[in-house]
Amino acid sequence: MLFIVLVIGVFLIVFATTKFKLHPFLSLLMGTLFVGFASGMPLDQIVENINGGFGGLMTSIGLVIVFGTIIGTILEKAGAALRMAEVVLRIVGPKRPQLAMSMIGFIVSIPVFCDSGFVILSSLRKALARRAKVAVASMSVALATGLYATHTLVPPTPGPIAAAGNIGADGYLGTVILIGLITAIPAALAGYIWSMKVASKIEVEDDRSDLDYDYDEIVRSFGKMPSALQSFLPIVLPIVLIGASSVLTLFGTEGGIAAFFIFLGQPVIALLVGVISALTLLPKYDEETLTNWIGAALLDAAPILLITGAGGAFGTVIKNTGIADIIQSWDMGSIFSGSLFLLVPFLIAAGLKTAQGSSTASLVITSSLIAPILPTLGIEGAVPLALVVMAVGAGAMTVSHVNDSFFWVVTQFSGLQVTDAYKTQTMATLIQGVVTIITTMILWVILV
């Protein structure tokens, strides 16, 4: 009966989100309350678990999400994302424009939301397509899939951070970032190949247009952009600090300068250092930048925080219904062996993503559902938990279609017909998801 209650609870969340367009935050709370009541949990414990689950997750990753969002907003508004794009284009060269767009998306979407990244890079995409004489659709899919790969797999993007927090991997964020970057490369490569083989055969209005998209003129139109060092530093510095802290902790180094770097590598401190470095990108220091830009970032972070906190409450209620005890009594090893377990979070996340459209909500809900199962399977420690996050992220890629806002951003800014968008964007995200879960399972065999 507990499992029936849980299935109905998940169904209520998806149904409220898709049918009634209710915000995922309220949908998650409704599902949480239903599971609590229907499982026979005492009323005072329902309230206690909701408050504890929400607050507990905010304690560990709330500020990390806020700081990551602030960094992304500043990079976007200060022109740093465009500077990063321009640097990648110089390195890759004009003869491989789709590869350049994929790499640009891969880097930019680590701190910047993929929707925003596609919009701000859209004019560069068109100009480069015109200069290189390649199909606009192929450039669009290359950029979109590059953005998508790191958006669902690499912190400090909110979705992967929330998933890590739900399964208890927030203390291993350096490992999650490293594994995420490794796993995202085949995902981005799959999207790039699809853009070359399939999307390049699709013609859109911009391919027939006489409008002159001059690449150099468009770059100049953005005005003075920050230096390459300034642009990359807010992304690279936190990752380096978190990675250094993870290495020092792994080798048991304590005291002196090592203790200081371990402190700097705590995710909340590392992301705060990233925010401070991002402040050097501000064109001026006034109310517009220091108040309005930061305020815009906080507005972007608010729904992510609420969904994440509600997911934490959902997971805590599930854990305390007794389902975890029932699972613990099973011989789970006879059901799932080795990397096969990774298919469970992948399929759950893929079902949720396809049904309700939000990758972040899919990551939050799935990680909340599977968290009680992990200890029963002996899945603990940095690398195994990081790979579980990757499996959830792989499902959260699968697939982007008409109920996903990113699908419409790509469609409208590229001039793609919906049927062509299904052939290009939707199929590309399906292939990305499958490639990512295969990569994750291979990494499990090698590393675990």
Mean pLDDT of 6-21: 87
In terms of pLDDT, which residue wins out, 3 or 405? 405
Q: What is the mean pLDDT of the chain?
A: 88
Residue pLDDT, tens place only, 151-168: 999 988 888 999 999 999
Measured CA to CA in angstroms, residue 35 lies from 20, 43, 311, 336 at distances of 20, 12, 13, 26
Q: Provide the pLDDT for residue 338.
A: 66
**First-residue to last-residue Cα distance in the chain:** 34
> Angle at the Cα of 62 (from 57 to 64), degrees rounded to 5?
125
Q: Provide the pLDDT for residue 336.
A: 61
Report d(CA 400, CA 408) in Å as an integer. 10
Q: What is the pTM of this model?
A: 0.89
Report d(CA 119, CA 121) in Å as an integer. 6
Measured CA to CA in angstroms, residue 92 lies from 5, 89, 181, 321, 331 at distances of 53, 5, 19, 54, 52
Place 90 in a pLDDT band, splitting at 50, 70 and 90.
confident
Q: Are 301 and 152 in contact (CB under 8 A)?
A: no
Taking Cα atoms as reference points, which of 156, 162, 143 lies closest to residue 54? 162
Report d(CA 129, CA 151) in Å as an integer. 24
Q: Provide the pLDDT for residue 291.
A: 95
Mean pLDDT of 207-213: 62
Q: Provide the pLDDT for residue 294.
A: 95
Place 205 in a pLDDT band, splitting at 50, 70 and 90.
confident
In terms of pLDDT, which residue wins out, 3 or 103? 103
Q: Provide the pLDDT for residue 272.
A: 95
Taking Cα atoms as reference points, which of 282, 368, 281, 274 lies closest to residue 319? 368
DSSP letter at 227 equals P
Place 219 in a pLDDT band, splitting at 50, 70 and 90.
low
pLDDT at 195 over 90: yes
Tokens of 316: 């805590």
pLDDT at 327 over 70: no
Q: Any residues with CB less than 8 A from the CB of 291 and at least 6 apart, and which?
A: none
In terms of pLDDT, which residue wins out, 86 or 277? 277
Report d(CA 310, CA 368) in Å as an integer. 10
Total residues belonging to the chain: 448
Percent of the chain with pLDDT over 90: 55
Report d(CA 199, CA 277) in Å as an integer. 38
Q: Provide the pLDDT for residue 432.
A: 98
Taking Cα atoms as reference points, which of 227, 304, 232 lies closest to residue 67? 304
In terms of pLDDT, which residue wins out, 333 or 283? 283
Say how many CA atoms lie within 13 Å of 245 toward its Cβ.
24
Mean pLDDT of 4-12: 89
pLDDT at 129 over 90: no
The H-assigned helical ranges of 251-289 are 256-264, 267-279, 287
Report d(CA 145, CA 151) in Å as an integer. 10
Mean pLDDT of 323-344: 68
Measured CA to CA in angstroms, residue 56 lies from 49, 77, 135, 205, 242 at distances of 10, 32, 49, 50, 22
pLDDT at 124 over 90: no
pLDDT at 332 over 70: no
Tokens of 119: 């919009």
pLDDT at 277 over 90: yes
Longest CA–CA separation in the chain, Å: 68
Residue pLDDT, tens place only, 415-425: 889 999 999 99
Q: Provide the pLDDT for residue 224.
A: 77
